[in-house]
Amino acid sequence: MELLQNLGHGFGIALSPTNILLCFAGCMLGTLIGVLPGIGPIATIAILLPLTFGLDPTAALIMLAGIYYGAQYGGSTASILLNIPGESSAVVTAIDGHEMARQGRAGIALGISAIGSFVAGTIATLVIAALAAPLAGIALIFGPAEYFALMLMGLAFAVLLARGSVLKAVVMILVGVLLSTVGPDLTTGQLRLTFGATWLADGIEIALLGMGLFGIAEVFRSLEHGEARQVRETHIGRLLPGPEELRASARPILRGTLLGSILGILPGNGAVLAPYASYTLEKKLARDPRRFGRGAIEGVAGPESANNAGAQTSFIPLLTLGIPPNAVMALMVGAMTIHGIVPGPQIMTKMPDLFWGLIASMWIGNLMLLVINLPAVGLWVKLLKVPYRLMFVGIVIFCCIGVYSINNEPADILIMGALAVFGYGLTKFGFEPAPLTLGFVLGRMMEENLRQALMISRGNPMTFVERPIAAVLILIAFAMLTVAVLPAIRKGRDEVFSE
């Protein structure tokens, strides 16, 4: 079995003492930052990105993956204990999870979410390993026209899944694309939209965008509330669920994993749907749906598994096609670029150590969350007691150091400040920064592929219709955009998100 051989190779890489240590450090630090109220995985990765700069690429990605899982887990912890979800996918966990916490079953909720995530992570790791090779094969027959069409489809999907106004989501993606054009032109090298400033001449770094829009801007938003978020004394209780609870959760975990694995693969942030889909499914299947919202363990087990499975399989489009499906993966692209790696189908063949090592470390990361982070939950609760008036100062200085260490360029810090004000303004006007980030990363790739596709077709735009794969992808993109503006679907979408 080639699959097992490859995975074995990966474990050989990931199980080296340094990499285990880095994976562990990533999980711990990711949880540490991710558990902070209101900080989702995007901000966590942006803030911790600089920690990986000194490492070699494989080690850096292993640590980043650890940070990512830690951030996810930290987000669930904050949702369950405080009812403050850091991001939309944790909203679902908060419904029944926090209710369980109020009934004194916080430990069980955290325990089942960790167990569910571990099961989901294990299965998703196998899914990635199994699907990666065939998908990368497909990627190789893709030309620029197909790539462009695929990215267009991803963006259309992101619009469909964005919260709030469809128009505003489209505008955000366009603004992201526009920001991606700042800097030198790809072929002629002419500077675009730099205001004549030398420090904009290289364009805007994605990590900068992440720290500004998600890190510092979130600080601005949180400072409005003051210390209202103080943590009350929470009783954790026992962590391990009993046989009864395990039996009730087993099927939801498996169903959630299946849903999450499938949705996560879709380009355009399908993973964000996974917890909602799982919650709705469990509620429909339950003998007594009224228990949901009142501390039903299935309402935690299912969505948490779905969330983790989706979080993991969303690596697939990135690793095989080089296309980040969501804002978190967009940051991963940024991180890879900083280490000189171009994501895409060639990674698997040219850098097998990195590829399989990363996949194996995903599983190890999930295991660590279960056996190390879960017992440490008391520590995270203590951390939540650090007053925000000090916590935000730490976040600010971390972002400053992080931005400076990318290029050793003080002007970058100022750009981050400007982006933070911009991000704060966006939320004040009802715009979401996540589609912008995705548009930003895809924008660069789309422009490149558009140019190449049209050069190959000698300027004939019909190439996107005449090539069958591209035509189908573009058709799907338009269908999704149409669906997004249909009133009936819009209503349903709003309900899903407001539930």
Partner 1 sequence: MSQSEPVAPWKRAVRSPQNLVSGLVLIAAAIVVVLMLGNLAQGTLRVIGPAMVPRWTAIAIGIGGAVLVVLSFIEDGDALERWHLRGPAFVLAGIVLFAATIREPGFIVAAPLAMLVAGFGSREVRPRELIVFALAMTVACALLFRFALNQPIPMLVLPSFSINV
Task: Return the number of the residue (1 or 390) whose C-beta is nearest partner 1.
Answer: 390
Given a contact cutoff of 8 angstroms between Cβ atoms, the answer to whether 120 and 260 are in contact is yes
Q: Which amino acid is at 155?
A: L
User: Is 400 among the residues that bind partner 1 (CB under 8 A)?
Assistant: yes
Span from 90-98, 139-147, 313-321, 409-417 in contact with partner 1 (CB under 8 A)? 409-417
Task: Return the number of the residue (289 or 461) whose C-beta is nearest partner 1.
Answer: 461
User: Is 491 among the residues that bind partner 1 (CB under 8 A)?
Assistant: no
- Distance between CA 233 and CA 438 in Å, rounded? 39
User: Is 195 among the residues that bind partner 1 (CB under 8 A)?
Assistant: yes
Closest CA to 297 of 279, 309, 313: 279
- Distance between CA 113 and CA 216 in Å, rounded? 29
- Distance between CA 324 and CA 321 in Å, rounded? 8
For 191, the 3-state DSSP assignment is: strand
> Tokens 């819009």 — which residue?
490
Given a contact cutoff of 8 angstroms between Cβ atoms, the answer to whether 32 and 383 are in contact is yes
Task: Return the number of the residue (50 or 75) whose C-beta is nearest partner 1.
Answer: 50
User: Is 202 among the residues that bind partner 1 (CB under 8 A)?
Assistant: no
Q: How far is the CB of 463 from partner 1 (least distance, A)?
A: 10
User: Is 166 among the residues that bind partner 1 (CB under 8 A)?
Assistant: no
Q: Count each helix (H run) and each strand (E run) in the chain, helices first.
A: 24, 2
Identified binder of partner 1 from the candidate list 2, 4, 188, 378, rule CB under 8 A: 188
For 104, the 3-state DSSP assignment is: coil
Identified binder of partner 1 from the candidate list 8, 375, 387, 492, rule CB under 8 A: 387
Residue list 419-438, contact with partner 1 (CB under 8 A): 420-421, 424, 428-431
Tokens of 245: 């609870």
For 40, the 3-state DSSP assignment is: coil
User: Is 26 among the residues that bind partner 1 (CB under 8 A)?
Assistant: no
Task: Return the number of the residue (311 or 426) whose C-beta is nearest partner 1.
Answer: 426
| Sign of the alpha-carbon dihedral angle for 164, 73, 135, 20 | positive
Q: How far is the CB of 286 from partner 1 (least distance, A)?
A: 36
- Distance between CA 283 and CA 215 in Å, rounded? 35
User: Is 21 among the residues that bind partner 1 (CB under 8 A)?
Assistant: no
Please give the residue ranges that form the binding site for partner 1 (CB under 8 A). Answer: 50-51, 53-54, 167-168, 170-171, 174-175, 177-178, 181, 185, 187-188, 190, 192-193, 195, 216, 219-220, 223-224, 226-227, 387-390, 392-394, 396-398, 400-401, 404-405, 408, 410-411, 413-414, 416-417, 420-421, 424, 428-431, 443, 447, 450-451, 454-455, 458-461
